[in-house]
Amino acid sequence: MKRRSLMLILWPSFLMAGVASAVVFALIDPLDVAIFGYFRPNRDVLYAAGFFFFWLIAALSSLLTLYISPSQQDTQHDIGF
């Protein structure tokens, strides 16, 4: 994968992960989250895990967009060049 394509995937997804984390953790207190009943991780662990989860989801979305977008050859063929 080219560096440019990698940056087209990772940079917008990083920004959206920051926004999603801010919105979600403004509404949900991580200390109120109980995983598997009694396991209560630290607040910092849940902030980091949430951020990386949102980053992964947004990166997969950007990757899918880049994958299904037409290539330069396809667009030139449609124009008639």
pLDDT for 78: 56
Rg (C-alpha) for the chain, rounded Å, is 18
The structure tokens listed for 70 are 């037409």
pLDDT tens, position by position, for the chain (81 residues)? Answer: 688 888 989 999 999 999 999 999 999 887 777 666 777 778 898 899 999 999 999 999 999 988 888 776 655 555 555
Say how far residue 62 (Cα) sits from the centre of its chain.
Answer: 8
**pTM score of the predicted model:** 0.77
pLDDT for 19: 97
According to DSSP H, which parts of 1-81 are helical?
A: 3-27, 43-68, 72-79
